[in-house]
A and B are shown apart, each in its own frame.
Chain A
């Protein structure tokens, strides 16, 4: 990975902590609750239990049971309550326990949460960040693994984001909660236990102060890409895509759990002499079309990878955005490697459904061998 998250280049040395995605999200929520007295965390088992994935562990004890609280098992109620709290000036961070249980809340999300801003001509913003443990990979039963990004991205008024690793989880959750708009925050549950280095905002601020601004600027532009450096730990730096690995021959576009898999594929492709760039889209609504154009304009080949079903999946949107901007220079049509048009399978069938390394390599090969006419 090209990403330079340590601040050593800026001369600060320390400043990173090693956290799992769970831990990084927990830290972000902890800091958000501390900095913003209007922030609230609510959902099934988020209080006493600390969340089934431990993301809200300890928050109720630290910030009080009136700010981090358990709700009845009723997702429509969780969202309805969050909307009401937002109207009353709070900044709720609700959780639905598993992606499949976002469906019972769809009416509140689509018809109320996403529209209140429009309906009130901006007088009633909805600063609500809905955390949704998302995607497959943990061999869960039905309703506990879904890939809902295309559904949410299709709803005007919602922002949709998915972090790929602990640093992204920490930084993107903070950015999402601070936004005045409703954000669907899709946490890749198969990556919850993955550990990584995280630069906290406090560490980033300290390093920025310690180093000369010129040195910091030099460090941030070292790889010429859009990677996240200390200087990017601001809302402005977190609205677009990021290059998770630079490459020359082909761009793999992914988000959430598929980013890690695409990074593995890029390493394998390198053994065959193919230099793959991995673009972590991060924001799925709005999509960073300029980052797509910039990357594919350079590599002239693109494969988009996602877990959700193919038909009307977000891969189609990505392919079209690339085609509109890079049609003249593309070497081949944008290839899609996706889930199938069937309900998300449970248990071991996940291995057949979720794009695996070989399916992604096949997608790359199809693009590489494409011949015009």
Chain B
């Protein structure tokens, strides 16, 4: 297992921080990619942050009302070592299947 930290992402529009409103997951929860993690509020709006990936929630940073700066830790996931990257899936190692058979007269060699 590996720990994968996820910092508060750049929320655009020059925003440098966000206030935690409410966590939608708890430490120990198994979350799926795109599942809402937390409600935060910036100086411009309130928004839900979707999970960048699936994994187990190891640690949450920031109680409701606390301010987190962009780039500071927001959440730490525990992910399997053989988890695929952000893109794609881990290929399965199936036993090889064949339909073609070989036949040759090697005696001519």
Contacts and interface: CB of A to CB of B under 8 A. Distances in A.
Interface of A: 20, 22-23, 48-54, 57, 98, 133, 137-141, 144-145, 189-190, 193-194, 249, 264-265, 267-269, 272-274, 300, 331, 357-358, 361-362, 364-365, 368-369
The binding surface of chain B is classed by DSSP as loop
A157 to B, nearest CB: 30
A20 B91 CA distance: 14
Contacts of A57: 2
Interface in B67-99: 81-91, 93, 96-99
B87 A20 contact: no
A267 B7 CA distance: 48
A144 B86 CA distance: 11
Contact of B91 (A53, A138, A273, A364): A138
A274 B102 CA distance: 8
B87 A98 contact: yes
Contacts, number: 82
21 contacts: A50-B4, A52-B87, A53-B85, A138-B90, A138-B91, A141-B87, A189-B85, A189-B88, A193-B82, A193-B90, A267-B96, A268-B96, A268-B98, A272-B101, A273-B106, A357-B98, A358-B98, A358-B100, A361-B102, A365-B104, A368-B102
A221 to B, nearest CB: 27
The binding surface of chain A is classed by DSSP as loop
Contact of A52 (B5, B86, B96, B102): B86
Contacts of B109: 300, 331
Contacts of B83: 54
B103 interface: yes
Contact of A361 (B5, B89, B98, B106): B98
Interface of B: 2, 4-5, 7, 81-91, 93, 96-104, 106, 109
B85 A369 contact: no
Contacts of B106: 249, 273-274, 368
Contacts of B99: 358
Contacts of A145: 88
Contacts of A133: 85
A98 B84 CA distance: 13
A194 B100 contact: no
Nearest to B104: A368
Contacts of B97: 357
Contacts of B7: 48
A264 B87 CA distance: 27
Contacts of A23: 81
A20 B82 contact: yes
Contacts of A364: 102
B81 A54 contact: yes
A269 B5 contact: no
The 4 A-B residue pairs whose C-beta atoms are closest, nearest first, are A138-B88, A52-B85, A368-B104, A140-B88
Given A138-B91, A189-B88, A368-B104, 11 more contacts: A54-B81, A57-B2, A98-B87, A138-B87, A138-B90, A139-B89, A144-B88, A193-B91, A272-B101, A358-B98, A361-B100
B101 to A, nearest CB: 6
B61 to A, nearest CB: 15
